[in-house]
């Protein structure tokens, strides 16, 4: 490998067209993919405009599975904070205004909220769809787990969640026998997601959260990120990104069991005003814990430090809690 | 673990010494060691003597403690804690100090030019040192992030090989994904 020896003085001033220094010649596809996978989505697409090879990689089906960082699409029609930048993403299949969403490793699964008769899986990066899946009976469906990262477009709905108001009992997470108090029946959004045996969290899922427009007129997708995020989580989906603080990611900690939610709250006053507090909410949305320690104590011993206040109806819940959540006030 | 010495030979026939514990940061070396094929010197025909010391330096730092190096590589957890300074558990504090130190070290460690970056990345890939690979890859990604295709081409000495028609199409895509991506 002579390239390695030719470690001569090569300035990286742009005009120097020495092929040896080009990232293109040095790095094979695997590494280039890795690099690109570290980028946020907009950068990935722009990188695809660099040359043919990069374009191919960007458009390859493998790329988004390799992605190291969560991606987040946000769509809005609201006049909320200016720091939010909104992108529209065309998804051909979105017709109804409301969809349930689950995402994992870049694949997104949609189920329409109204009839619950449509279900499809989409790869938003390459805009590929898998339609015509059988309608399902479940009220809620859970996150996707890719079967094997080397087969990115293979997917399976591995968690099927049954509304706890039905008599059917799904085994709770193995390590904890905590009686998960059933969520208020009849609230679709709040169905408790019982985790079936220890599925590992997807290593680096990207959260992709979309919501249809409130009006029945389709094609423009709109939705507020944290809101749909909350809704998605309340519906039992696990998502990786929890919130953004002015561009900084608050990532879901890996020790947190599936279906737990991370809430963030900005301090309004005091010395630390503007900074974040983070809370963990259990899948039933009954308890909130301030720290990892408390969560683990709860999981191990069922110890509850503080119970959550009276709960609102789940749907308004998602909508109303939103304004408090960090994303909006990111400074 | 005992501090058995391992000897590594670079592509240009220079020999370097490394502790076994440190060497185990590399999957490739670990397999060689565990496979019992340890026969004096391990030749590394893909790694030059410019890069090998750098690799060894990393391994030394990360040899024993896979845990925290992993944490650093994942990047997420410690960032969390920065945002949440009132993480009040002692344990978390100590962890934070450790992670911060490591982070600082990595910052200094990663201060080199592009050519070294590529070589180091290739070496990390070849030797299967996940943490180092992640570090280098992330750094390379940071050189792409937020740049226009033109800037990227210039920075990496890449020539556009699109046809004029494709070029136009690319410009459209480029505009569509114009910067100011809020969460870059």
Would you call A216 an interface residue with chain B, using a CB distance cutoff of 8 Å?
A: no
Highest mean pLDDT among A62-66, A204-208, B152-156: B152-156
Distance CA A140, CA A109 (A): 12
Whether A182 has a pLDDT exceeding 60, the answer reads no
| Bridge partners for A122 per DSSP | A108, A129
What pLDDT score does A184 carry? 35
A18-32, A45-59, A312-326, B102-116 — which is least confidently predicted? A312-326
**DSSP state letters, A83-103:** T--------TT--SS-EEEEE
Q: How far is CA A146 from CA A31, A65, A151, B110, in A?
A: 22, 9, 8, 33
Whether B94 has a pLDDT exceeding 60, the answer reads yes
What pLDDT score does A119 carry? 64
Summary mean pLDDT of chain B: 78
Distance CA A207, CA A73 (A): 8
Whether B96 has a pLDDT exceeding 80, the answer reads yes
What is the ipTM, given to two decimal places?
Answer: 0.75
Contact A48 B173 (CB under 8 A): yes
Whether A311 has a pLDDT exceeding 50, the answer reads no
Instruction: For residue A273, list chain B residues with Cβ-Cβ distance below 8 A.
Output: none
What pLDDT score does A62 carry? 57
Nearest chain A residue to B170 by CA: give it.
Answer: A49
Segment B126-144 shows an average pLDDT of: 89
Distance CA A118, CA A174 (A): 32
| Bridge partners for B9 per DSSP | B15, B43
What pLDDT score does B75 carry? 40
Asked if A191 contacts A140 with a C-beta cutoff of 8 angstroms, the reply is yes
What pLDDT score does A258 carry? 61
Would you call B86 an interface residue with chain A, using a CB distance cutoff of 8 Å?
A: yes
Query: Please, which residues 137-196 of chain A have a Cβ atom closer than 8 Å to chain B?
Result: none
**DSSP state letters, A190-224:** G---PPPTTPPPPSS---------SSS--SS--B-
Nearest chain A residue to B157 by CA: give it.
Answer: A22
Contact B183 A10 (CB under 8 A): no
Whether A106 has a pLDDT exceeding 70, the answer reads no
Burial class of A4 by CB neighbour count within 10 A (0 to 12, 13 to 18, 19+): buried
Segment B73-97 shows an average pLDDT of: 57
Segment A16-43 shows an average pLDDT of: 69
Query: Please, which residues 91-130 of chain B have a Cβ atom closer than 8 Å to chain A?
Result: 92, 113-116, 118-119, 121-122, 125
Of the candidates B63, B67, B75, B80, which has an alpha carbon nearest to the alpha carbon of residue B26?
B63
Nearest chain B residue to A1 by CA: give it.
Answer: B46
What pairing do the DSSP bridges indicate for beta strands A140-141 and A107-112? unpaired
For the record, the structure tokens of A134 come out as 């059988």
What pLDDT score does A121 carry? 63
**Fold observed for domain B5-142:** Potassium Channel Kv1.1; Chain A (3.30.710)
Whether A229 has a pLDDT exceeding 80, the answer reads no
Contact B158 A276 (CB under 8 A): no
What pairing do the DSSP bridges indicate for beta strands A128-130 and A140-141? unpaired
Distance CA A89, CA A220 (A): 8
A282-286, B7-11, B63-67, B93-97 — which is least confidently predicted? B63-67
Contact A275 B84 (CB under 8 A): yes
B90-99, B123-132, B156-165 — which is least confidently predicted? B90-99
User: Which of A49-66 are b and which e, b meaning 16 or more Cβ less than 10 Å from the residue's Cβ?
Assistant: bbbeebbebbebebbbbb
Q: Is residue B98 very low, low, confident or very high in pLDDT (cuts 50, 70, 90)?
A: confident
Asked if A250 contacts A244 with a C-beta cutoff of 8 angstroms, the reply is yes
Would you call B161 an interface residue with chain A, using a CB distance cutoff of 8 Å?
A: yes
Summary mean pLDDT of chain A: 49
To the nearest whole angstrom, how far is the Cα of B111 from the nearest Cα of chain A?
Answer: 15
Q: How far is CA B60 from CA B25, B64, B107, in A?
A: 8, 8, 16
A98-107, A142-151, A273-282 — which is least confidently predicted? A142-151
A119-123, A157-161, B101-105 — which is least confidently predicted? A157-161
For the record, the structure tokens of B181 come out as 């991506």
Give residue for tokens 């991606």.
A71
Angle between helices B52-62 and B114-127 (to 10 degrees): 60
Whether B12 has a pLDDT exceeding 80, the answer reads yes
**Helical residues (DSSP H) of chain A, grouped into ranges:** 2-5, 23-26, 29-37, 41-47, 52-58, 63-66, 225-234, 292-301, 314-321, 326-329
To the nearest whole angstrom, how far is the Cα of A217 from the nearest Cα of chain B?
Answer: 23
Segment A37-66 shows an average pLDDT of: 74
How do the domains of chain B map onto residue ranges? 5-142, 149-182
For the record, the structure tokens of A275 come out as 């900074």
Phi and psi torsions of B101, nearest 5°: -60, -45
Segment A141-168 shows an average pLDDT of: 34
For the record, the structure tokens of B143 come out as 């050189």
Q: For chain B, how big is the Rg over CA atoms in Å?
A: 20
What pLDDT score does A315 carry? 37
- Any idea what the Cα angle at residue A212 is, between residues A208 and A218, rounded to 5°? 130
Q: Is residue A91 very low, low, confident or very high in pLDDT (cuts 50, 70, 90)?
A: low
Distance CA A206, CA A68 (A): 9
Contact A35 B137 (CB under 8 A): yes
| pLDDT tens readout for residues B35-57 | 776 667 888 888 899 899 999 99
CB–CB contacts below 8 A, A to B: 181
What pLDDT score does A283 carry? 65
Distance CA A136, CA A117 (A): 6
């Amino acid at each position: 490998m002579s390239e390695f020896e030719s470690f001569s003085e090569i300035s990286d001033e742009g005009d120097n067209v020495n092929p040896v220094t080009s990232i293109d010649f040095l790095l094979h596809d695997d590494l280039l993919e890795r690099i690109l996978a570290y980028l946020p989505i907009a950068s990935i697409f722009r990188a695809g405009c660099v040359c043919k090879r990069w374009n191919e990689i960007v458009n390859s089906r493998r790329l988004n599975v390799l992605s190291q960082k969560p991606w987040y699409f946000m769509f809005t029609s609201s006049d909320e904070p200016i720091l939010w930048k909104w992108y529209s993403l065309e998804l051909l299949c979105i017709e109804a205004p409301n969809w349930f969403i689950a995402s994992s490793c870049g694949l997104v699964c949609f189920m329409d909220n109204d009839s619950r008769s449509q279900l499809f899986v989409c790869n938003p990066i390459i805009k590929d769809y898998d339609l015509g899946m059988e309608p399902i009976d479940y009220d809620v469906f859970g996150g996707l787990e890719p079967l094997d990262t080397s087969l990115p477009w293979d997917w399976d709905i591995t968690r099927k969640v049954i509304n706890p108001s039905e008599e059917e009992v799904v085994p709770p997470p193995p390590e904890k026998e905590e009686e998960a108090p059933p969520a208020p029946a009849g609230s679709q959004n709040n169905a408790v997601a019982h985790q079936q045996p220890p599925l590992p969290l997807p290593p680096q899922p990207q959260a992709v959260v979309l919501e249809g427009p409130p009006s029945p007129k389709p094609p423009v997708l709109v939705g507020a990120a944290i809101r749909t995020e909350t809704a998605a989580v309340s519906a039992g989906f696990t998502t990786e990104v929890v919130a953004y603080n002015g561009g900084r990611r608050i990532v879901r900690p890996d020790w947190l069991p599936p279906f737990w939610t991370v809430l963030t709250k900005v301090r309004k006053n005091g010395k630390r005003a503007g900074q974040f507090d983070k809370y963990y909410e259990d899948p039933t949305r009954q308890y909130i814990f301030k720290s990892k320690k408390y969560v683990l104590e709860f999981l191990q011993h069922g110890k509850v430090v503080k119970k959550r206040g009276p709960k609102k109806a789940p749907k308004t819940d998602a909508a109303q809690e939103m304004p408090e959540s960090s994303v909006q006030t990111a400074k | 673990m005992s501090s058995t010495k391992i000897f590594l030979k670079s592509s240009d026939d220079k020999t370097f010494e490394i502790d076994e514990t440190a060497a185990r940061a590399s999957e490739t070396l670990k397999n060689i060691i565990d496979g019992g094929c340890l026969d004096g010197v391990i030749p590394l025909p893909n790694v030059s003597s410019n890069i090998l010391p750098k690799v060894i330096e990393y391994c030394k730092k990360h040899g024993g403690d896979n845990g925290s190096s992993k944490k650093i590589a994942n990047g997420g957890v410690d960032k969390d804690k920065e945002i949440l300074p009132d993480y009040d558990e002692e344990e978390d504090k100590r962890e934070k100090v450790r992670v911060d130190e490591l982070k600082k070290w990595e910052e200094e460690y990663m201060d080199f030019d592009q050519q070294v970056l590529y070589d180091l990345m290739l070496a990390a890939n070849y030797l299967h040192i996940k943490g180092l690979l992640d570090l280098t890859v992330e750094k390379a990604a940071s050189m792409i992030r937020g740049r226009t295709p033109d800037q990227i081409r210039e920075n990496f000495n890449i020539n556009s090989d699109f046809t004029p028609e494709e070029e136009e199409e690319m410009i459209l895509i480029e505009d569509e994904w114009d910067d100011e991506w809020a969460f870059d």
